[in-house]
């Protein structure tokens, strides 16, 4: 028997919360098969098994916090064919007995190796045929049962038609069911600070403690930028260049002109360190909280490449599968809070970076244009910067350059 322990996930992480088991006791696993999803202070990751065999024990339940090096599961070295034969026999016995312990869509053959038996019986009122969506996790199945959700009516988003936890949660939200009453008499709702939320809380608190930040802002006419985006879309529809990609490209060009802002303070050596490579972070709101995915070496990318990288990082963040290394190491952050319908903000710098550019919503406003007052697409840009790293001259110069690029995209073209 082999005891598999939580491996070192890098980035100085010491613990992880078990989100969802991908296997159950008695399941046959292969080398590199994902066996558990855990959430660290950086991201949610799937942990693969280093050995093949039959799962004999799970050492932690979903929701438990496990330290690096602590046991996760035990795998016995059974012959795979013998174990599969025993599994088939168990399945036939349960099916004959009507135990209700068989997963929705749990059939026969090799496809069954990636499925698992639920911890709770299926709802008697919703028996599902084998062609129904599959529920691998007993946590997901229990969540659906507790909330009266028919998994057979859910459109699965997981690979191979698997119903994921987020699918059930979306169905619960759509059903508009009231939240359960608080457990105590105070009416308080307590949300544990764990995983990504705790990491972000720690980083923001440290930023406020250590960085003497200042903010400067300017209103800009973004009409020409939006028209520029439309022209690019007509010329190359497959490029997928949106407003975020254009603003990201503007930031890269601005940081080349003002490298003082692509920097950090080494407090131990009392030095300002200017970084030659631009690792561009951008704020993304996800179900697990605010995260800042990072596009590395943005200075080497074309506009189309940068747009593709931003889409990839956004999809990863929304799906909760961002690798830990893609959530650290940023040198500058772009924060498009305009997507929330707000005009301005004074965001907290993403420690240990030196600055963050914020972009408010783009909306029609009266604007002086060519000697007349017209309705134009206007937005507010704000730059929050570390006053230890640069003074108002460099910060204002960077922000004015960004504003000029937004108002006159031809300036941006010369820097692509």
Could you tell me the domains of the chain?
2-76 (2.40.50.100), 80-174 (4.10.320.10), 195-413 (3.30.559.10)
- Nearest 5°: CA angle at 4, between 38 and 33? 65
pLDDT (tens digit, 9 = 90+) per residue, 341-362?
999 988 899 999 999 999 999 9
DSSP category for residue 317: H
Q: Are 378 and 365 in contact, with CB atoms under 8 Å apart?
A: yes
pLDDT score at 181: 53
Q: pLDDT digits over 217-229, tens only? A: 999 999 999 999 9
Query: 25 or 112: whose pLDDT is higher?
Result: 25
What pLDDT is stored for residue 55 in this prediction? 93
Q: Is 119 helix (H, G, I), strand (E, B) or coil?
A: coil
The most confident of the ranges 5-19, 123-137, 160-174, 234-248 is 234-248
Write out the catalytic residue numbers: 387
Cβ atoms of 416 and 409 within 8 Å: the answer is no
Residue 70: per-residue pLDDT:
92
Distance from C-alpha of 249 to C-alpha of 231, rounded to nearest angstrom: 16
Sign, Cα dihedral of 388, 393, 396, 402: negative
Indicate the pTM of the whole model: 0.61
Tokens of 396: 């204002």
Q: CA 113 to CA 119: how far, in whole Å? A: 17
pLDDT at 43 over 80: no
Smallest CA-to-CA distance from 221 within 374, 409, 410, 406 is with: 406
Q: What is the pLDDT of residue 209?
A: 93
């Amino acid at each position: 028997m082999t005891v598999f322990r939580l491996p070192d996930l890098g980035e100085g992480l010491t613990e992880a919360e078990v989100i969802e088991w991908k296997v159950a006791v008695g399941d046959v696993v292969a080398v590199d098969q994902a066996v558990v999803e855990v959430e660290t202070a950086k991201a949610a990751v799937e942990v693969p098994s280093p050995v093949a065999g039959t799962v004999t024990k799970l050492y932690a339940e979903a929701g438990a916090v496990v330290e690096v090096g602590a046991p996760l599961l035990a795998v016995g070295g059974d012959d795979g064919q013998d174990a599969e034969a025993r599994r088939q026999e168990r399945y036939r016995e349960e099916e004959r007995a009507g135990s209700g312990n068989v997963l929705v869509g749990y059939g026969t053959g090799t496809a069954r190796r990636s499925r698992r038996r639920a911890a709770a019986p299926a709802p008697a009122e919703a028996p599902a045929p084998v062609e129904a969506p599959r529920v691998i996790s007993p946590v997901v199945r229990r969540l659906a049962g507790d909330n009266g959700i028919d998994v057979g009516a859910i459109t699965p988003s997981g690979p191979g038609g698997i119903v994921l936890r987020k699918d059930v949660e979306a169905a619960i939200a759509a059903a508009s069911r009231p939240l359960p009453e608080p457990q105590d008499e105070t009416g308080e709702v307590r949300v544990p600070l764990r995983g990504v939320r705790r990491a972000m809380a720690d980083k923001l608190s440290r930023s406020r403690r250590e960085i003497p930040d200042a903010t400067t802002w300017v209103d800009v006419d973004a009409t020409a930028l939006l028209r520029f985006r439309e022209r690019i879309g007509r010329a190359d529809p497959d490029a997928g260049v949106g407003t975020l990609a254009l603003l990201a490209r503007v930031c890269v060009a601005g940081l080349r002109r003002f490298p003082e802002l692509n920097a950090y303070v080494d407090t131990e050596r009392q030095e300002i360190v200017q970084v030659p490579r631009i690792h561009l972070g951008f704020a993304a709101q996800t179900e697990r909280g605010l995260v800042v995915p990072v596009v590395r070496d943005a200075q080497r990318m074309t506009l189309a490449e940068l747009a593709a990288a931003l889409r990839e990082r956004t999809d990863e963040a929304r799906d909760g599968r961002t690798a830990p290394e893609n959530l650290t190491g940023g040198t500058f952050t772009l924060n498009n809070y305009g997507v929330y319908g707000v005009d301005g903000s004074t965001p907290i710098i993403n420690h240990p970076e030196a600055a963050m550019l914020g972009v408010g919503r783009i909306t029609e406003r009266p604007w002086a244009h060519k000697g007349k007052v017209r309705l134009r697409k206007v937005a507010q840009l704000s730059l929050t910067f570390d006053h230890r790293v640069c003074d108002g001259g460099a910060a204002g110069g960077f922000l004015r350059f960004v504003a000029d690029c937004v108002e006159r995209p031809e300036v941006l073209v010369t820097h692509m």
